[in-house]
Amino acid sequence: MSGAGDIYKTFAVNVLLPIIFVSLTGMLGWVNKIEDRMYAMQASNVTEQKLENTEKRIMSYIDVRMKELDNKLDLVIRTVDNANKRD
């Protein structure tokens, strides 16, 4: 029976072990690719978040300036109306 046991050991060492090693190496490469993709997605999410914050700041700035312009325009219209009423 030791002859059959030696054959199985030889088969395991020469065939199965390399197959397992190659499989694990491939899986490790696959996991690394997934990690890289996750990092890239996180980086793009941070970028999108920063862009959204920048857009909000710009829109807020524009809203303030438009309100100022509206107030100035109202003042000019009132001044013109008052000037027309005097004439």
How far is the C-alpha of 78 from the C-alpha of 72, rounded, in Å? 10
Residue 39, φ and ψ in degrees, nearest 5: -60, -45
Read off the pLDDT of residues 1-55 as tens digits, 9 standing for 90 and up.
467 778 878 887 888 888 988 999 999 999 999 999 988 888 877 788 888 999 9
Read off the pLDDT of residues 13-28 as tens digits, 9 standing for 90 and up.
888 888 988 999 999 9
Tokens of 7: 């054959």
* CA atoms lying within 13 Å on the CB side of residue 16: 7
Count of C-beta atoms within a 10 Å radius of residue 13: 10
- Band of the pLDDT at 87, cuts 50, 70, 90? low
Does position 67 have pLDDT exceeding 80, yes or no?
A: yes
